[in-house]
């Protein structure tokens, strides 16, 4: 299946500190590419895979689910971990949820987590009907491209495949049930004006993660903050987070 131009994965071989970046639901690596390139210029090894069913057609995505997407991230994590003694996971929206899942599964092997407007709670009542709705309606309105910055655009589907969306319910339930396993430091970037993910996800993280959690607000960005006005704040802050929590020194290229 041909890729959308710009949806290609991104990889950079840098130093002994590795970062795995996870894009969001119906999105592509394009939404995190500037973040990945920033970290690469700082000397980090960066892996930004394309999740199965993303960056092609919504019809193809309809035949995938969260297990497929997470499986690709597990594969990318294993490869990254094989090269880098220190590994961090970072993600946007659903990618943030799966970054937290990686932290739950791999424990101390994940040094830290950075998430941007993470989606870990079902805050769309209609989505509860998705397991039934998927047999009646193949797609609904898109959830992509919520960006405040003029001229910025997210490369993503213009429709949301209901069958794929229905699988998110199981992912959210699993991650919520095991939040006590997230013992690493977690940095959350949160846009108060987010038209895709409501504050319930960050509120739950505040309740469950306690002192391990730091939340920083993005006052001038919407949901896809990695392409928005506060992007540089995210990029620089994540690099400082890595430097503070890595067990090996940062090596410049």
201 is catalytic: no
Spatial distance between the Cα atoms of 201 and 133, rounded to a whole number of angstroms: 24
Active site residue 68: no
Catalytic residue among 12, 23, 54, 194: 194
Exposed / middle / buried, residue 106 (Cβ in 10 Å: 0-12, 13-18, 19+): middle
| Packing angle of the helix pair 33-41, 231-245 (nearest 10 deg) | 50
Selected catalytic residue, list 93, 191, 221, 238: 93
Per the CB < 8 A criterion, the answer to whether 120 and 175 are in contact is yes
Helix (H) / strand (E) containing 106: helix 94-106
Q: Which of 223, 228, 230, 238 is catalytic?
A: 223
Is 194 assigned a catalytic role? yes
| Cβ atoms of 12 and 40 closer than 8 Å | yes
As a dihedral over the C-alpha atoms of residue 205, residue 128, residue 50, residue 76, rounded to 10 degrees, the angle is 50
| 128 within 8 A of 145, measured Cβ to Cβ | no
Q: Which residues belong to the active site?
A: 93, 194, 223
């Amino acid at each position: 299946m041909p890729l959308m131009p710009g949806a290609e994965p991104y990889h950079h071989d840098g130093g002994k500190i590795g970062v795995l970046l996870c894009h969001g639901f119906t999105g592509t690596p394009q939404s995190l590419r500037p973040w990945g390139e920033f970290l690469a210029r700082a000397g980090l090894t960066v892996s930004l895979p394309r999740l199965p069913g993303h960056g092609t057609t919504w019809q193809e995505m309809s035949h995938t689910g969260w297990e497929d997407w997470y499986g690709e991230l597990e594969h990318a994590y294993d490869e990254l971990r094989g090269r880098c003694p220190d590994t961090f996971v970072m993600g946007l929206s659903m990618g943030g949820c799966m970054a937290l899942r990686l932290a739950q599964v791999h424990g101390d092997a994940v040094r830290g987590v950075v998430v941007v407007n993470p989606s870990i709670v079902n805050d769309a009542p209609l989505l509860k009907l998705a397991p039934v709705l998927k047999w009646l309606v193949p797609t609904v309105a898109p959830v992509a491209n919520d960006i405040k910055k003029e001229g910025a655009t997210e490369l993503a589907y213009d429709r949301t495949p209901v069958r794929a969306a229905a699988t998110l319910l199981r992912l959210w339930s699993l991650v919520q049930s095991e939040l006590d396993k997230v013992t690493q430091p977690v940095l959350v970037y949160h846009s108060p004006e987010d038209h895709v993910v409501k504050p319930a996800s960050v509120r739950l993280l505040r309740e469950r993660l306690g002192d391990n959690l730091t939340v920083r607000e993005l006052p001038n960005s919407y949901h896809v903050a990695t392409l928005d006005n506060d992007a540089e704040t995210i990029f620089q802050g994540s690099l400082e987070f890595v430097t503070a929590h890595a067990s090996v020194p940062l090596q410049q290229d």
